[in-house]
Amino acid sequence: MIDNFQISLRAIRNLMGYSASDLADFVGVTRQTINNLETGKTKMSPTLYISLAAVVDNYIMNNGEMFNAIKTIIDGNKKKRNESYDTSFSNVSLLKRWFACFKEPVDFNSAAMTYENMEEYGSLLQRLAGKYKVFIDTDVFFDSKSGDFLNMFSGYLVTENAKFIIPKRVTDQLLEMMQEVSASEKAINALKKINELQQKNIVQIRGEDSDSNVHDTILSVFAKFRSLHRLCLITQNEPFANEVKHLNESSEKQGFDIVIGFVDENGLLSLYPRPMEESLSETSMVINNIGVDEEECITKAVAIEKPSNLMGWEQL
């Protein structure tokens, strides 16, 4: 990939309309360095490849009509050394293809938490705690088996110096439920669970009073930050889980795939199936069936596309 890119560098630069000085300024090197790369006097390093690939990705993002021409230049130079090599791009991105070459020990989405014993299950939880920002919504605290999972996962969070993230709207919702006779006991038990996590110093309650409801807030935060962080959502609400899945499937919202799980009947973490069996229209039917009208759905879509009022989340 590096060899093909280096051979193509001058042609790509000219196609994008950048001078050697422009390209040098973008990546923080000298003009002579770019000249040496283009003439083959210097071999391109992985660090320079990543830096220059980012420039090309940015250009393609703003000039999508030029993608096919750039791809033809890079992939058509007949300099393949490996027969399994097909293209330098993944989803019109050089960087995505580069990082896809480095397989992680476990892909949570495809592995679906497959394990043969509790030791392997523990290793999966430890990696989740160390590499992901793990969000919990209100429904988890209502599940009778959630305590078992929270207690087990807490140990790995302590080891990794990590924390659960709970939107402020979750605690607001629970406090409101305490005023309702029929729901007060359930709300009190949920708040006790959150308090236990706080006592262990493994929870962050994030957000502002201006945040919308719990699910819309999480969707907006995920849409905004999935390009910066590996995110995980734990929820017992399957229709909501399906809404979050659409972020993974949207080509406009590039970033890390969001891991979406639930606490099963054994108190263990399981993942919602992927790919989704439901279509977008089917999910809309589910939403409508629980009382969200079309206008509210449109409002939600706009909120997700243009996340705002997220000041309390900036330091995520």
Of 42, 70, 100, the residue at which a domain comes to its end is 100
Of 67, 82, 100, the residue at which a domain comes to its end is 100
Same domain, 93 and 112: no
Of 81, 100, 119, the residue at which a domain comes to its end is 100
Same domain, 216 and 268: yes
Same domain, 37 and 147: no
Quickly count helices (H) and strands (E) in the chain.
15, 6
Query: Considering its fold, how many domains does the chain have in total?
Result: 2
Average pLDDT for 269-287: 54
Same domain, 193 and 83: no
In which element (H, E) is residue 122 found?
helix 118-131
Same domain, 63 and 194: no
Q: Which domain holds residue 77?
A: 2-100
Average the pLDDT over each of 4-13, 193-202, 253-262 and give the range with the smallest value.
Answer: 253-262
| pLDDT (tens digit per residue) in 172-207 | 999 999 999 889 999 999 999 999 999 999 999 999
How far lies 131's CA from each of 109, 110, 302, in Å?
14, 17, 30
Q: How far apart are CA 160 and CA 101, in angstroms?
A: 26
Contact 36, 24 (CB under 8 A): no
What are 132's two structure tokens? 């992901």
- For the sheet with 133-136, list strands across it: 203-206, 164-167, 133-136, 231-234, 259-263, 269-271
In which element (H, E) is residue 166 found?
strand 164-167
| pLDDT (tens digit per residue) in 94-120 | 998 888 776 565 566 555 567 788 888
Q: What 3-state class would DSSP assign to 236?
A: coil
Give the predicted TM-score (pTM) of the model.
0.60
